Structure 1
Amino acid sequence: MDTQVVCRFLVLILTFFISTPSDAQNFDYADPEIYHSLYTECPKGCICPSQFPRALYCDNKGLKEVPVIPSRIWYLYLHNNEIDSLKEKSFANATEIKWINLSKNKISSKNIEKNVLKKFKNLLYLLLEENDLDGVPAPLPDGLEQLRLARNKISKIPEGVFSKLENLTLLDLHNNKLTDGSFQADAFAGLKNLVQLNVARNSLKKMPTGLPANTVQLYLDNNNIEEIPKNYFKEVPKIAFLRLNYNKLADAGIPENVFNITSMLDLQLSYNELKNMPVVNGHLERLHLDHNKIKNINGSLICPNDVKEEFDPHFPQGPRLRYLRLEGNEMKPPIPLDIMICFRLLRTVVI
């Protein structure tokens, strides 16, 4: 896998564990203006911890609107309130914000003033999950790296809405009201560095098209997808993690070698209607096929390389599959011997 892609993927993982950075060492408490800001400009009911002077905690306060945010703030937490609008006056002086969490509020698209988000030139992370949005807020700041819009009412992705977000690595749109017709032409244009796209729990019947070429993680669980186009993954040659659990995929909807791609490491097809194990590539490490309609598996037919060969220069120890889930199918133990002969690195098999 491309080194730059790996680095971006590692950054994505690390952000799940990041808390507010300790920037106290860069804060000059001797400056009377800063001291005044820290102790007198803290919005009523919010928390302005001295150990994290650039963070403002206004979460879980029952707020109905965003208070006036002090200019020193970089990290703003406003989740789990009753805020229904975003107005420029609240952020008039707060131009250095890097992180905003506005999840679990009542914000609607029509109540977001047009340029209120665009002004945040340093904004990297924007969380607007579980609100009342029916569209992607726009315009957005060009430097944004993560945009989380899950659990809203978004039904359309207009053309060009992401066109300037070249730094975006994560786009989360799961649990909205997206259909096959929701994606306008070139809806994802401009997302040159996107690593993770999550459109799970929508109403898609087809695989989304026009995906960014650098996509590594694609989550499509809990849709109504019935088939995958033959050459679909040619447009995403770096795809490594694919989740298609809880769809309507049957054997007829899966071309013979559609998953036979060297970049794929983790493939999840649980809770579909498959009767046969699809052909996979020797690089695949984890495969979820539980809760389908599989009765038996012919290992010699689906083995990535000829099991009769004693040595394959690409797979000196055999295919790399280490984890296989088969429970909830129509087959019973034991595991077929030819499966174990082919996938010699298998460490966990659930049946």
Structure 2
Amino acid sequence: MAVLAGQKAVRFLDKGCLMEELLNVPDRPPSSAECKQAPKGCIIWIMRSSFYWLLPLVLILASEAQGQATRRPRPRPRPRPRPRLRPTPSFPQPHEPSEPTDLPPPLPPGPPSVFPDCPRECYCPSDFPSALYCDSRNLRKVPVIPSRIHYLYLQNNFITELPLESFRNASGLRWINLDNNRIRKIDQKVLEKLPSLVFLYMEKNQLEEVPSALPRNLEQLRLSQNQISRIPPGVFSKLENLLLLDLQHNKLSDGVFKPDTFQGLKNLMQLNLANNILRKMPPKVPTAIHQLYLDSNRIETIPSGYFKGFPNLAFIRLNYNKLSDRGLPKNSFNLSNLLVLHLSHNKISNVPAINNRLEHLYLNNNSIEKINGTQICPNDVVAFHDFSSDLENVPHLRYLRLDGNYLKPPIPLDLMMCFRLLQSVVI
């Protein structure tokens, strides 16, 4: 019966009168006799009874169908372009000098000082009243130095010059450390007004020449790792007390050194000219010298008898040069007081003659193919002599480096017989 009712409902729907028939159907259910006499009314009543239950569902389905027909597909959001990041400048503002990247960050101000004259940007320790610590403070100039200060620490700053008034109130300074700054210009008289200055450290700056008018009492002058290519005439003439002169890692050439360059350095004990561009041995080195550093230059020859005028010379470094047998006269290093000799990384083919007091000999990374203990044994020593009763004449050599040559183990027996005190031999 439900199928029949559905078919007739469709037919009524096609004729457009379904709603009118549904509204005119009586509220009471028809009897069986009435359904037989008027099946149409019975069918319509059944449809009206189910109409109230199906109407919400029909409306929901209709709205969904209409929405799907009219709904536009949602556009896929386009990815937003990433904003271009402007590169952060690695340099400060134009009014500030660019700062080296190898410096540590500036230290915060120290605790309040018990000294009223202590500069605000520095630190004055109460247990060391004669010292002033202004290191790593990002300073552009030298602060006002109290007159009580003897030891001044100004390393690791951005100081570019030393004008005349730099140490105006501190004539009693004995120690100044200006390492790792940017000093390029020094007033000619600024250091002359420091008569008590003994130690002056100015390594890792931008100096192009040795400062003039240095204090007479200066004992140590350290100027390594600058851009020094000039030594003014007579700059060392009054430095009779200077003991150490360090000029390594600069741009010094042979033409810089005149016969009178070192005139006045009567007590100089240590001279460091390593890592420059020298091709010759410097002339007229002070005779009181104890230690001579000439590593990493371009020296090819040593004049005959060059070291004879240095009776106290005990330490020589000539590593990383261009020395060969032709450039080494016989007995060049046969010096009575020589204790340590560095000749590594050259072009030497034969072991040079040495004295019996030498303790350390470095000949590694040369062109030595063979070694004869009898030949290199000091001239006044017999290789197989019994030294048990003559220990004073025993060769003192204790350390010998021969690696990086064309030698192969074992160590020659005559070498061991001559140098009885050898503790280490590297081949």
2:315 is matched with which residue? Answer: 241
Superposed displacement of residue 37, structure 1: 9.0
2:347 is matched with which residue? Answer: 273
Closer, same or farther in 2 for the Cα pair 1:337/1:240, shift >3 Å? same
In the alignment, is residue 76 of structure 1 matched against residue 152 of structure 2?
yes
Deviations 1:295-338 (A, max 9, x none): 11011111002214335998545211011111111111111111
1:284 is matched with which residue? Answer: 358
Unpaired runs of at least 5, structure 2? 1-111
In the alignment, is residue 139 of structure 1 matched against residue 213 of structure 2?
yes
Question: 2-side partners of 1:167 and 1:90: how far apart?
Answer: 24
1:45 is matched with which residue? Answer: 121
Superposed displacement of residue 209, structure 1: 1.0
Closer, same or farther in 2 for the Cα pair 1:207/1:312, shift >3 Å? farther
1:31 is matched with which residue? Answer: none
The amino acid of 2:253's aligned partner reads T
Question: 1-side partners of 2:162 and 2:389: how far apart?
Answer: 59
In the alignment, is residue 56 of structure 1 matched against residue 132 of structure 2?
yes
Superposed displacement of residue 152, structure 1: 0.7
Question: 1-side partners of 2:389 and 2:170: how far apart?
Answer: 58
2:410 is matched with which residue? Answer: 334
Alignment root-mean-square deviation, CA: 1.6
SS state at 2:115 partner: helix
The amino acid of 2:120's aligned partner reads K
Aligned length: 314
- Identify which of 372, 377, 400 aligns with 1:324: 400
The amino acid of 1:329's aligned partner reads N
Tell me the TM-score normalised to structure 2 length. Answer: 0.71
Question: 2-side partners of 1:44 and 1:74: how far apart?
Answer: 18
2:36 is matched with which residue? Answer: none
Deviates more, 1:298-307 or 1:153-162: 153-162
Check whether the contact 1:88–1:116 (CA below 8 A) recurs between aligned residues.
yes
Question: 2-side partners of 1:119 and 1:158: how far apart?
Answer: 19
Superposed displacement of residue 38, structure 1: 5.0
Tell me the TM-score normalised to structure 1 length. Answer: 0.86
Deviations 1:184-203 (A, max 9, x none): 23100000110000000000
The amino acid of 2:285's aligned partner reads L
Deviates more, 1:304-313 or 1:157-166: 304-313
Check whether the contact 2:259–2:283 (CA below 8 A) recurs between aligned residues.
no
- Identify which of 175, 181, 198 aligns with 1:105: 181
Closer, same or farther in 2 for the Cα pair 1:209/1:315, shift >3 Å? farther
Aligned ranges 1:1-351 → 2 under 5 Å: 39-108=115-184, 111-304=185-378, 305-310=381-386, 316=392, 318-351=394-427
1:22 is matched with which residue? Answer: none
Higher-Rg structure is: 2
SS state at 1:252 partner: helix
Closer, same or farther in 2 for the Cα pair 1:344/1:39, shift >3 Å? same
The amino acid of 2:402's aligned partner reads L
Which runs of structure 1 show a deviation greater than 3 angstroms over 4 or more consecutive aligned residues?
308-317
The amino acid of 1:81's aligned partner reads N
Question: 2-side partners of 1:328 and 1:43: how far apart?
Answer: 56
1:28 is matched with which residue? Answer: none
Question: 1-side partners of 2:329 and 2:304: how far apart?
Answer: 6
Unpaired runs of at least 5, structure 1? 1-35
Deviations 1:11-69 (A, max 9, x none): xxxxxxxxxxxxxxxxxxxxxxxxx9952221122111111111001111111100110
Closer, same or farther in 2 for the Cα pair 1:97/1:343, shift >3 Å? same
Deviations 1:156-211 (A, max 9, x none): 22331100000000000000000111112310000011000000000001111111
The amino acid of 2:265's aligned partner reads L
Check whether the contact 2:144–2:167 (CA below 8 A) recurs between aligned residues.
yes
The amino acid of 2:349's aligned partner reads K
More helix by share: 2
SS state at 1:100 partner: strand
Question: 2-side partners of 1:60 and 1:295: how far apart?
Answer: 52
